[in-house]
């Protein structure tokens, strides 16, 4: 294990905070530099994110996907909510340029399909572990106690439940769907007493949403 990860392993807080901060920083860089930079930075972000998830798998013990019927139902339900609520409430901020590789690189071009595939894989396999570890494993429990590792995953507290779901929701332009999503994923953690079901539900939601985007050309969701 690299020395940097040994240092993170010695600090449970850094092990859950730093990878998310790096990923968030790369997300902020998307589209900020040159035409098409949104796509190339997404490539970099996904590769770095995959390296972070792989490297941290032995450091953050709860970062394990878990399959259950509750996770499947929650993942599908959140997808339906995310799409179904669109148009019924005001989003945050102004919409940026649509993330549409076919417009950028040519309809049906191999490069466009590469970025579509990359987005589907990144949103389903990389985003859920990093976000769920930060929001549901670290932040929720840290708001209950600074000794967050001693807080059971089944521990319920209203303030962290509402606060973390709100922070998670307002990370997205679709803030209302995001808050409801936060309720669902945090509820899964509380119900099952582990993080893996929320990771699976998150992955399923993102995968279904990505397939919907490509099928319907609903690029506003990306």
Determine the distance from the C-alpha atom of residue 25 to the mean position of all C-alpha atoms in its chain, rounded to a whole number.
14
- Beta-carbon contacts of residue 98 (< 8 Å; ≥ 6 apart): 219, 220, 222
* pLDDT number for residue 111: 94
> What would the two tokens of residue 134 be?
């930060």
Tell me if 51 is assigned to some domain: no
Average pLDDT over residues 217-222: 92
- Beta-carbon contacts of residue 213 (< 8 Å; ≥ 6 apart): 219, 221, 222
Tell me if 24 is assigned to some domain: no
* pLDDT number for residue 46: 96
> What would the two tokens of residue 75 be?
């993942």
* pLDDT number for residue 9: 65
- Beta-carbon contacts of residue 42 (< 8 Å; ≥ 6 apart): 30, 115, 118, 119, 122
> What would the two tokens of residue 17 be?
């905070």
Average pLDDT over residues 97-122: 93
Percent of the chain with pLDDT over 70: 96
Q: CA 163, CA 189: separation in Å to the nearest integer?
A: 16
Tell me if 189 is assigned to some domain: yes
Residue 209 pLDDT > 80, yes or no?
yes
Number of domains observed in the structure of the chain: 1
Tell me if 151 is assigned to some domain: yes
Q: How confident is the model at residue 1 (pLDDT cuts 50, 70, 90)?
A: low
Tell me if 46 is assigned to some domain: no
Phi first, then psi: what are they for 19, rounded to 5°? -60, -40
* pLDDT number for residue 6: 66
Read off the pLDDT of residues 20-67 as tens digits, 9 standing for 90 and up: 999 999 998 887 788 788 999 999 999 999 999 998 888 899 999 999
Residues 31, 115 contacting (CB under 8 angstroms): no
Tell me if 2 is assigned to some domain: no
Q: Would you say how long the chain is, in residues? A: 222
Tell me if 214 is assigned to some domain: yes
DSSP state of 184: H
Residue 176's Cβ-side half-sphere holds a number of Cα atoms within 13 Å equal to 11
Nearest to 126 by CA among 23, 13, 1: 23
Read off the pLDDT of residues 75-104 as tens digits, 9 standing for 90 and up: 999 999 999 999 899 998 887 778 899 999
Tell me if 203 is assigned to some domain: yes
Question: Has this prediction a pTM greater than 0.85?
Answer: yes
Q: Could you tell me the residue range of the domain that residue 121 belongs to? A: 66-221
């Amino acid at each position: 294990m690299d020395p940097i990860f040994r240092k993170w392993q010695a600090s449970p807080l850094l092990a859950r905070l730093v990878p998310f901060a790096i990923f968030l920083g790369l997300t902020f860089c998307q589209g900020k530099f040159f035409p098409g930079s949104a796509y190339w930075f997404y490539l970099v972000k996904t590769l770095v994110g995959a390296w972070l998830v792989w490297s941290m798998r032995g450091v953050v013990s709860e970062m394990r996907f878990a399959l259950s019927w509750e996770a499947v139902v929650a993942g599908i339900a959140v997808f339906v909510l995310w799409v179904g609520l669109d148009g019924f409430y005001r989003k945050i901020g102004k919409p940026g340029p649509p993330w549409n590789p076919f417009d950028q690189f040519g309809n049906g071009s191999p490069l466009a399909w590469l970025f579509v595939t990359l987005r589907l894989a990144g949103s389903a396999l990389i985003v859920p572990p990093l976000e769920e570890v930060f929001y549901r494993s670290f932040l929720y429990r840290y708001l209950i106690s600074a000794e967050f590792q001693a807080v059971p995953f089944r521990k319920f507290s209203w303030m962290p439940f509402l606060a973390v779901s709100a922070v998670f929701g307002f990370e997205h332009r679709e803030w209302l769907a995001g808050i409801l999503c936060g309720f669902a994923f945090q509820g899964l953690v509380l119900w099952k007493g582990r993080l893996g079901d929320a990771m699976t539900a998150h992955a399923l939601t993102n995968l279904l949403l990505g397939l919907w985007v490509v099928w319907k050309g609903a690029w506003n969701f990306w």
